[in-house]
Amino acid sequence: MSRSEPVEASNFIRNIVEKDVAAGKNDGQVVTRFPPEPNGYLHIGHAKSICLNFGTAGRYDGRCNLRFDDTNPARESEEYVEAIKDDVSWLGFEWSELRHASDYFDELYEFARELIRQDKAYVDSSTAEEVREMRGSLTEPGTPSPYRNRSVEENLDLFQRMKEGEFDDGEHILRAKIDMASGNINMRDPTLYRIRKVHHVRTGDKWSIYPMYDYTHCVSDAIEGITHSLCTLEFEDHRPLYDWVLDELKTPCHPQQIEFARLSLEYTMLSKRRIIQLVEDGHVHGWDDPRMPTIIGMRRRGYTPASLRDFCERIGITKNDAWIEMAVLETCIRDQLNKEAPRRMAVLDPIKVTITDLPEDHEQIFSFANHPQDDSAGTREVPFTREVFIDRDDFAEVPPPKYQRLVPGGEVRLRGSYVIKCEEIIKDDDGQVLELRCTHDPDTLGKKPEGRKVKGVIHWVSATHGIPAEVRLYNPLFTLPDPTKADSLAEAINPESEVVLSSCVVEPALQQASAEQHFQFERIGYFVADRRDHSAEKPVFNRTVTLRDTWAK
């Protein structure tokens, strides 16, 4: 292999799966699952897991299930399961089967009775407080519960009565009987079932006991024939328990749990708890606020499924606690939109330019390519008139060094049109520029000007044909690369994270824009018609990302 050929980066999970497939383990099958708890909206960190699970299965012609880990009815809701399904589909993945942990409640209950019969589980009637005290600490072993040696018969009886609702929340729990002195606290007789007299969306009031994650997850994996159970690093020391349950239960298959590092993204918070807080405290407008790291928020911001998948591929899968720079994400969306987004002109902060040597009723229709490198994207018509708008920062009375735009007495190219020269500045009483009066060189349409160089090119919109629009600019939601380092959430919020511009003018072709359509506003950035607020009557565009800008601002 020559060194110049790009090599597809592997990752340790791919290597393990590859080896297993080659060795014929699990009959060469690969079965994974994406197992969210339906207690919130998915975010970019989940996208990493989704791409890993669906991607790994897809790579080896395997299957990937979508499984809702709905074992805690107190905090889960149907709204979230629907949202999660939408997000996974939108990302471009199809689950092999849609399952719920609650589908297995009966089996789970029977397996638990089996553990009791084997004297591997017991009903503990201690209070939550007592259980915590008896668990010991990180450095001290725990002490056995006084209920640890209840007879199998008594445990079976109590467990059944727990199930039948005879007891109140907290009166008893079912615990695994493992090792109260284990260095791994998860092995100090972990809770398997707790009493929760809560209505469950799918099982209704059938159950008054609900199984815990550690017990449910491994059994669910085994029931579904999962071969590789991929989860994040914090579950590493749960793996001995995962294996213990499956070994004791002698399930027909024993999936391999493999852990990888969760995503950390600069200027972003990716913990469900904090994301909920952003919404509840009103720091953002909702779960789908374009500044949110949620899939639905990023979608509204203008990120595409392909760009998110590309991102997940680029960041890799390891066990390192890595912090990804925003630039990686931005590159992914720019890469895709550069190839696909039609170009348009939009003026965000308009100043009127009158081309004085053109007649009042001058009107010319230009045909502009929708894409400079892709003829198949076609063309659109752009009207040119005596009065146009340009962006305020494309004119400078006192230009900074290397400024290539319009200055008093200077020339600039109106993109796709003529070279104009600024002859006169009209200001209001406060010194604010109201209008620029310019002349044009009629011999510069599609031609370089004679005898001089005009370096700058600026975008514009006909003042008579342009249409008003609202444009929302988005910046990082937080001012700190790691916002959790701030004293409070409020303190970490970037006050400039959302800037709403309500008097923008965009070219007429944008009148046809439909919600969720992507564009490049030339020289500015990539924008998307807002999926909620945009309409032909009141166009609203969100800035997805700026264009790369190598000019020191």
Footprint (CB under 7 A) of RNA, residues 458-517:
none
Q: Site size for RNA, by CB under 7 A? A: 95
Query: What is the smallest separation between the CB atom of 411 and RNA, expressed in angstroms?
Result: 13
Q: Does 323 bind RNA (CB under 7 A)?
A: yes
Residue from the set 48, 228, 343, 440 that interacts with RNA by CB under 7 A: 343
Which of 37, 76, 330, 411 is labelled catalytic? 37
**CB nearer to RNA: pick between 236 and 248:** 236
Determine, following the binding rule CB under 7 A, whether residue 186 of this chain makes contact with RNA.
Answer: yes
199 to 258, contacts with RNA by CB under 7 A? 210, 212-214, 216-217, 233-238
Dist CA 150 CA 152 (whole Å): 7
Among 322, 426, 434, 499, binds RNA (CB under 7 A): 322
The 141-170 site mask, x for binding RNA (CB under 7 A), equals: ----------------------------xx
Q: How far apart are CA 247 and CA 243, in angstroms?
A: 6
Based on the residue annotation, tell me whether 148 is a catalytic residue of this protein. no
Per-residue three-class SS string for 382-431: EEEECEEEEEHHHECCCCCCCCCCECCCCEEEECCCCEEEEEEEEECCCC
Between 257 and 531, CB nearer to RNA: 257
Q: Which is nearer to RNA, 99 or 217 (CB)?
A: 217
When asked if residue 25 is in the footprint of RNA (CB under 7 A), the reply is: no
Q: Are strands 363-369 and 323-324 parallel, antiparallel or unpaired?
A: unpaired
103 lies in the binding site for RNA (CB under 7 A): no
Residues in 254-313 at the binding interface with RNA, rule: CB under 7 A: 261
Residues 418-457 that bind RNA (CB under 7 A): 444-448, 456-457
- Which burial class, exposed, middle or buried, applies to 196 when counting CB atoms under 10 A from its CB (0-12, 13-18, 19+)? middle
Q: How far apart are CA 383 and CA 368, in angstroms?
A: 10
Q: In the sheet that 457-458 helps form, which strands lie side by side, from edge to edge?
A: 457-458, 411-414, 419-427, 433-441, 350-355, 387-391, 461-462
Upper half-sphere CA count for residue 442 (Cβ side, 13 Å)? 7
Residue 77 interacting with RNA (CB under 7 A)? no
Q: In the annotation, is 48 catalytic?
A: no
Task: Clarify whether 37 is annotated catalytic.
Answer: yes
- Residues from 513 through 542 that contact RNA (CB under 7 A): 520, 522-523
Closer by beta carbon to RNA, 247 or else 325: 325
Compute the least distance from the CB of residue 306 to RNA, in Å: 15
Least distance to RNA from the beta carbon of 341, Å?
9
463-484 burial, b at 16+ Cβ within 10 Å, e below that, comes to bebbbebbbbbbbbbbbeeebe
Q: Is 32 exposed, middle or buried (0-12, 13-18, 19+ CB in 10 A)?
A: buried
The 8-class DSSP code of residue 66 comes to E
Catalytic residue among 14, 25, 272, 352: 272
Nearest CA to 130 among 142, 113, 139?
Answer: 142
The DSSP output letter for 488 is: S
Contact map string, positions 122 to 141, toward RNA, x by CB under 7 A:
----xxx--xx--x-xxx--
**Applying CB under 7 A, does 90 fall inside the site for RNA?**
no
> From the CB of 452, what's the least distance to RNA, in Å?
14
Is residue 288 within 8 Å of residue 297, measured between CB atoms?
Answer: yes
Q: Are 367 and 384 in contact (CB under 8 A)?
A: no
50 closest CA partner among 20, 98, 89 = 89
In the complex, the smallest distance separating the C-beta of residue 496 from RNA, rounded to whole angstroms, is 20
Positions 53 through 72 that interact with RNA (CB under 7 A): 69, 71-72
Interface positions, 392-411, toward RNA (CB under 7 A): 402-405
The neighbour count for residue 365, using CB atoms within 10 Å, is 9
Spot the catalytic one: 14, 135, 197, 262. 262
Residues 3-22 close enough to bind RNA by CB under 7 A:
3-4, 6-7, 9-12, 15
Residue 379, sorted as left (phi over 0), alpha (psi -120 to 50) or beta, turns out to be beta
Binding of RNA by 327 (CB under 7 A) = yes
Which C-beta is closer to RNA: that of 413 or that of 465?
413
- Name the residue with tokens 């550690």: 214
Q: Of 350 and 531, which CB lies nearer to RNA in the complex structure?
A: 350
Figure out which of the listed residues 148, 319, 362, 437 binds RNA, where binding follows CB under 7 A: 319
**CA quadruple 499, 512, 329, 43: dihedral sign:** positive
178: left (phi over 0), alpha (psi -120 to 50) or beta: alpha
Q: How far is the CB of 538 from RNA (least distance, A)?
A: 25
- Residue among 103 and 289 whose Cβ is closer to RNA: 103
Q: Which is nearer to RNA, 335 or 381 (CB)?
A: 335
Which residues are designated catalytic? 37, 262, 272
